Amino acid sequence: MVSYADDITPLSSHCILQTAGNQLQPYLNSLFDWTKANQLTINPDKCAATVFSTDSSEYSYKTSLKINGPIIPAETHIKILGVTFDPKLVFNKHIDLTVEKAKKSL
């Protein structure tokens, strides 16, 4: 798990995607129960699931991860603490966005 302030990024790793999801779901359930017990809410608009892999056929994998019912949407490019990640972890999208932002300020 990676966390900073109120951002939490739970992680699971396994060569079989379904197994990785099965390992992660109990944690998501516990996380939801904890937030409920502490009168906190999870913003579903800020939740996303992604797959990091060298196998491009896995990029379209749709997880069945849920937080209190709704399935967490899958995204290919997610932003964590200002860094945009891509499925292959080559950071092309992050570099493109950084260059675009720099050009605007010049």
| Band (84; pLDDT cuts 50, 70, 90) | very high
Residue-wise pLDDT tens digits, 88-106: 999 999 999 999 999 998 8
CA distance 5 to 63: 26
For 79, phi then psi, to 5°, come to -110, 125
CA distance 56 to 104: 32
| Band (83; pLDDT cuts 50, 70, 90) | very high
Amino acid at 45: D
Collapsing DSSP to helix, strand or coil, 3 comes out as strand
Identify the residue with better confidence: 22 or 5: 22
| Band (46; pLDDT cuts 50, 70, 90) | confident
**pTM for this predicted structure:** 0.78
SS3 content of the chain, % helix, strand, coil (to 5): 40, 15, 45
